[in-house]
Structure 1
Amino acid sequence: MAPGVVEPPAAEGERGTGRDPLTDDETRRAERIALSGRLFRSGENVTGGRGPQRLGVDLAEPGSGEAGDPAAPRRAEVTSYDYRDDTLVTRTVDLATGTVVRTSTQRGVQPPLSAAEKAEAAALLIADPLGAGLRADYKAATGTDLTSPDRLRLSGAVYRAAPGAGPAALDDCGEHRCVRLFPKVENGPWIDARSLVIDLSAREVATLGR
């Protein structure tokens, strides 16, 4: 367990009570506290920018002996993914004190993708030679060129390598953060991109079965 980190005071805004869902103010405050300091300076997000990739903020489960206690501390768990070393970082913030009370890092853990990660995966695919089929299908459906992810509705899933199931280029998927995309033309058809995997950590695209 990392030592507690106290951040400068921040405007608390609207606060919830007990096991109420986090308010928007609590969510923003927890995220600001958890993703600042050394983690922000050394971390890397999905586009290569400073700071880890934000994934989510949730109300933390009560500690031992705190269940049902209306005076129990209200805490938030902030999860992020650091592309610098492919680690999932979870920080627990005490919302009353502005203190990071617990930090954990895990490798090989791949939670659901954020919208920013799906958009970056699509951008990499659009720019890659293996994205030729995607670009052609989009143009056939719309009559215009596909130049950016915001022209698509994106869903996707984390891809993990399985022995013998894919090319050697994807062997690191699971340790790396890899994506299979399911793109859809806005108000139009789905485009089949299931055979393609985007390795966000290596920023490479590969085809399954090759």
Structure 2
Amino acid sequence: MIHRHLGKVVAGAAMAVTAGAALIAVTLPDSASGDEGQGGGGPQGSAAEQGQASPRPGVVESAPEQGKKGAGRDPLTDDEMKRAQSLALGRGLRAEGENVKGKTGPEHLSTDLAELGPDEVGAADPPRRAEVTYYDYKDDTYLTKTVDLGTGKVEHTDTQRGVQPPPVHDEVVEAARLLINDKLGAGLKKDFKDATGKTLIGPGQLTVTGFVYRGGEDSTGPAAVQDCGKHRCVRLFTRVVNGPWIDVRPLVIDLSDRSVARLG
């Protein structure tokens, strides 16, 4: 391990990388915990409360056409996932939500086969439902929509605040982009230059993994990260593509207010 100012170029460590969670042969510093667990809930604000124009009344969107369907407890097919996401998003959420890049529509996180009710278990032909989850950066809410794939109806909507599931690929890439463009990314760029002889200009030059960081009363982090948990915050593992790892774990990227802070 070669020690440096911010970025420590780490050579030879065997690490498994995914977009949502990291398995890494490194012991994280005490500050890495930051209470990365998931939290409680609260109601989502209306369009008017968010300062947004409400969708025009009286417009009904047709349900997406049925495609290839699974049976029983088979995993969702690609067609079922597309249908579930389209039904869950709807016209209103599509128009009012905001994704990690600040564009219209909430950030899609996952689409999974929903659990059956107690009276449905063991049925010969149980209903097929999907749970579709989103993170809405407009008001930092975690949304779960339960969709009946047979009827095309959204049966249930759950809205929570303070719940922070692992980041998805697009969120990790955006966090890396924000870090590269921030003054606190100077150490990362210097180490990248030392390792490759090239200038780091974008996330595509790195292999990046992210995990959620939560601040709060029990966190030892600075004031700049105390909103993490309410806000969508991540820390990163970064690696030169086909090259060494560069340690940027002391940095926290707040995706909700698009800022970068240093721990400790």
TM-score bin, normalised by smaller chain = over 0.9
SS of the equivalent of 2:237 reads strand
Question: Which among 232, 256, 260 is matched to residue 201 of structure 1?
Answer: 256
Distance 1:7 1:70, change over 3 A: farther
Question: Which among 227, 233, 253 is matched to residue 172 of structure 1?
Answer: 227
Asked whether the equivalents of residues 91 and 100 of structure 1 are also in contact (C-alpha less than 8 Å), the reply is yes
Return the alpha-carbon distance in structure 1 between the equivalents of residues 163 and 219 of structure 2.
Answer: 21
Answering whether residue 108 of structure 2 is matched by residue 54 of structure 1, we say yes
**CA shift for structure 1 position 35:** 1.2
1:10-33 CA-to-partner distances (Å, cap 9, x unmatched) read 222110000000001101111111
Answering whether residue 232 of structure 2 is matched by residue 156 of structure 1, we say no
Question: Which among 119, 129, 132 is matched to residue 65 of structure 1?
Answer: 119
- Aligned twin of 2:242: 187
Structure 2 gaps of 5+ residues are 1-59
Asked whether the equivalents of residues 64 and 86 of structure 2 are also in contact (C-alpha less than 8 Å), the reply is no
Matched to 1:67, the amino acid is: V
Return the alpha-carbon distance in structure 1 between the equivalents of residues 152 and 93 of structure 2.
Answer: 16
1:28-85 CA-to-partner distances (Å, cap 9, x unmatched) read 1111111121111110000000000010000000012111213221000000000011
Matched to 1:184, the amino acid is: R
Structure 1 gaps of 5+ residues are 1-5
**CA shift for structure 1 position 7:** 4.6
Return the alpha-carbon distance in structure 1 between the equivalents of residues 129 and 166 of structure 2.
Answer: 22
- Aligned twin of 1:113: 167
Return the alpha-carbon distance in structure 2 between the equivalents of residues 24 and 115 of structure 1.
Answer: 19
- Aligned twin of 2:148: 94
SS of the equivalent of 1:206 reads strand
Q: Pick which of 165-174 and 8-17 moved more.
A: 8-17
- Kindly report the root-mean-square deviation, in angstroms, between the aligned alpha carbons of the 2 structures: 1.1
- Aligned twin of 1:31: 85
Question: Which among 40, 43, 48 is matched to residue 97 of structure 2?
Answer: 43
Matched to 2:112, the amino acid is: D
Following TM superposition, the consecutive aligned residue runs of length 4 or more in structure 1 with deviations greater than 2 angstroms are none
Matched to 1:192, the amino acid is: D
SS of the equivalent of 1:36 reads helix
SS of the equivalent of 2:215 reads coil
Distance 1:68 1:7, change over 3 A: farther
- Aligned twin of 1:8: 62
**Which structure ranks higher in relative contact order (CA pairs < 8 Å, sequence separation ≥ 6)?**
2
TM-score, L = length of structure 2: 0.75
Give percent identity, aligned residues only: 59
Asked whether the equivalents of residues 7 and 99 of structure 1 are also in contact (C-alpha less than 8 Å), the reply is no
- Aligned twin of 1:74: 128
**CA shift for structure 1 position 164:** 4.8
Matched to 1:181, the amino acid is: L
Asked whether the equivalents of residues 81 and 89 of structure 1 are also in contact (C-alpha less than 8 Å), the reply is yes
Matched to 1:120, the amino acid is: E
TM-score, L = length of structure 1: 0.94
Asked whether the equivalents of residues 7 and 98 of structure 1 are also in contact (C-alpha less than 8 Å), the reply is no
| Number of residues of Structure 1 aligned to a counterpart in Structure 2 | 204
- Aligned twin of 2:47: none
**CA shift for structure 1 position 98:** 1.1
Asked whether the equivalents of residues 77 and 90 of structure 1 are also in contact (C-alpha less than 8 Å), the reply is yes
Matched to 1:76, the amino acid is: A
